């Protein structure tokens, strides 16, 4: 009976995925997360938090995304590097089925996929490219069309090619309170009780929210 149920779930999952996105050998995505994807997405070795979404036509490899994140269309995250110091940059030289048919070449030349970590409450605009191995902090904003080649700190706004920090979303005192609150760990139904802090994150409102959220934990 258990195997039968698993087969039915697998068939249902495959059927639903056809309407939402393409998927390559990725078994980590749960059915409840289908609403996180807007369509024609391609992901592999991928994790996504609660209340986050990925818009159309995005390709995301080897990436962990936190909660309450907004990923725009046509975003590419986590693509591998090619070895520029070897004879050729072509994968036909160094992948498992390379022209020499030797696995040793793969082991020497293939440390080129590094995981991307994207924090919580991150907004990534359309047509952004994020290099593998990059870490993006909580609350960061990546402007449309940016190319991100290095880490982005909490609440920084980054634009351009290559990406450059233009400012922070809030001053340091507010950022400290936001990070302390860890509000992204809570369900939206709880956060709705704190409309003042959500719409106007002043020190007074955030301190009140932190106090009330700590009571929610108890």
Q: Which residues of 181-211 are buried (b: 16+ CB within 10 A; e: fewer)?
A: bebbebeeeebeebeebeeebeeebbeebbe
Each residue's pLDDT tens digit, 121-136: 999 999 999 999 999 9
Average pLDDT over residues 27-41: 63
In the chain, % of residues over pLDDT 70 = 73
Provide the 8-state DSSP code for 5: H
Each residue's pLDDT tens digit, 56-111: 999 999 999 999 999 999 999 998 887 777 777 777 776 655 555 555 554 555 55
The pLDDT value given to residue 129: 98
Each residue's pLDDT tens digit, 188-198: 889 999 989 98
Paired tokens of 147: 């190319």
- Extended beta strands in 49-154, E state: 53-54, 59-65, 70-71, 76-77, 116-118, 123-124, 129-130, 135-136, 141-142, 147-148
Q: Could you tell me which of 135, 31, 112 has the C-alpha nearest to residue 23?
A: 31
Q: Could you tell me which of 71, 175, 173, 188 has the C-alpha nearest to residue 118?
A: 71
Q: Could you tell me which of 162, 165, 141 has the C-alpha nearest to residue 71?
A: 141
The pLDDT value given to residue 39: 77
Selecting among 38, 62, 82, 112, the annotated active-site residue is 82
Each domain of the chain, given as residue ranges in start order, spans: 2-78+113-168, 170-218
Q: Is pLDDT above 70 for 180?
A: yes
Q: Give the range among 27-36, 64-73, 85-94, 205-214 with minimum mean pLDDT.
A: 27-36
Provide the 8-state DSSP code for 155: T
The pLDDT value given to residue 161: 97
In the chain, % of residues over pLDDT 90 = 53
More confident residue, 91 or 200: 200
C-beta separation of 140 from 168 below 8 A: no
Provide the 8-state DSSP code for 99: T
Return the biggest CA–CA distance within the chain. Answer: 65
Q: Is pLDDT above 70 for 31?
A: no
Whether 194 sits among the annotated catalytic residues: the reply is: no
3-class SS of residue 148: strand
Q: How far is the C-alpha of 132 from the C-alpha of 118, rounded, in Å? A: 11
The pLDDT value given to residue 145: 98
3-class SS of residue 15: helix
The pLDDT value given to residue 4: 58
Model confidence pTM above 0.85 = no
pLDDT band at 15 (very low <50, low <70, confident <90, very high): very low
The pLDDT value given to residue 101: 56
Domain 2-78+113-168 is in which class? mainly beta
Q: Is pLDDT above 70 for 12?
A: no
- Extended beta strands in the chain, E state: 21-23, 41-48, 53-54, 59-65, 70-71, 76-77, 116-118, 123-124, 129-130, 135-136, 141-142, 147-148, 156-159, 164-168
Torsion of CA 10, 12, 15, 21, to 10 degrees: -70
């Amino acid at each position: 009976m258990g195997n039968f149920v698993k087969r039915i779930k697998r068939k249902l999952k495959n059927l639903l995925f056809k309407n939402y996105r393409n998927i390559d050998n990725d078994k980590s995505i749960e059915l409840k997360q289908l609403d996180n994807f807007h369509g024609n997405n391609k992901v592999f070795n991928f994790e996504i938090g609660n209340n986050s979404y990925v818009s159309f036509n995005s390709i995301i490899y080897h990436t962990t995304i936190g909660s309450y994140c907004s990923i725009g269309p046509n975003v590419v995250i986590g693509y591998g590097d090619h070895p520029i110091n070897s004879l050729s940059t072509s994968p036909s030289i160094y992948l498992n089925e390379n022209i020499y048919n030797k696995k040793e070449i793969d082991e020497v030349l293939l440390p080129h996929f590094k995981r991307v970590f994207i924090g919580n409450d991150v907004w990534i605009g359309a047509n952004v490219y994020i290099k593998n191995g990059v870490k993006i902090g909580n609350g960061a904003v990546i402007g449309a069309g940016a190319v991100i080649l290095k880490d982005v700190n909490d609440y920084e706004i980054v634009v351009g090619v290559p990406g450059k920090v233009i400012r922070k979303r809030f001053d340091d005192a507010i950022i400290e309170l936001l990070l302390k609150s860890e509000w992204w760990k809570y369900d939206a139904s709880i956060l709705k009780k704190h409309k003042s802090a959500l719409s106007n994150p002043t020190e007074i409102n955030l301190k009140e929210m932190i106090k009330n959220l700590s009571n929610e934990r108890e």
